[in-house]
Amino acid sequence: MGTVIGIDVGGSTTKIVGFRAENGQNVLIEPQLVRANDPITSIYGAFGKFTSENGLTLDKIDRVMMTGVGSSFVKTPIYDLDCRAVPEFSSIGLGGLYLSGLDEAIVVSMGTGTAIIHAKKEGDKTAVNYL
């Protein structure tokens, strides 16, 4: 695996992060924030800033995972990369488990809206339910 980039296109802020494979481990690439009124401008601005500042070239990116309200505006793959939509509640649950290091958690996401998610690892899969 090369690099996987995650983009959360919110109503006011786009967040972007990545994971790079190094020595058999997934290494977190520092998250960044970009603000723009237009979701497409915000996505491409965040993507360009992130790849430039982290020395990433397109051939090193395996896929782009997108979530958030603004991700629905993306109608074609970013620079012909493998782009996949991820439901926002799943992203919140999986992210909460990753950040906490727990196998099960209630995750609260407070932003423009508030979501309360129950996430639980079940073998190779993760179950995510919103409350």
Handedness of CA 53, 51, 73, 67 (dihedral sign): negative
| Sheet containing 125-130, strands listed edge to edge, beginning at the edge strand earlier in sequence | 104-110, 114-122, 125-130
- Determine which helix (DSSP H) or strand (DSSP E) holds 5, and give its type and residue range: strand 3-9
CA 106 from chain centre, in angstroms, equals 19
For 92, the token pair is 């919140």
Per-residue pLDDT of the chain (131 residues; tens, 9 = 90+): 689 999 999 878 899 999 998 888 889 998 999 988 888 899 999 999 999 999 999 999 999 999 988 888 888 889 999 999 998 888 889 889 988 999 999 999 887 778 899 999 888 777 787 76
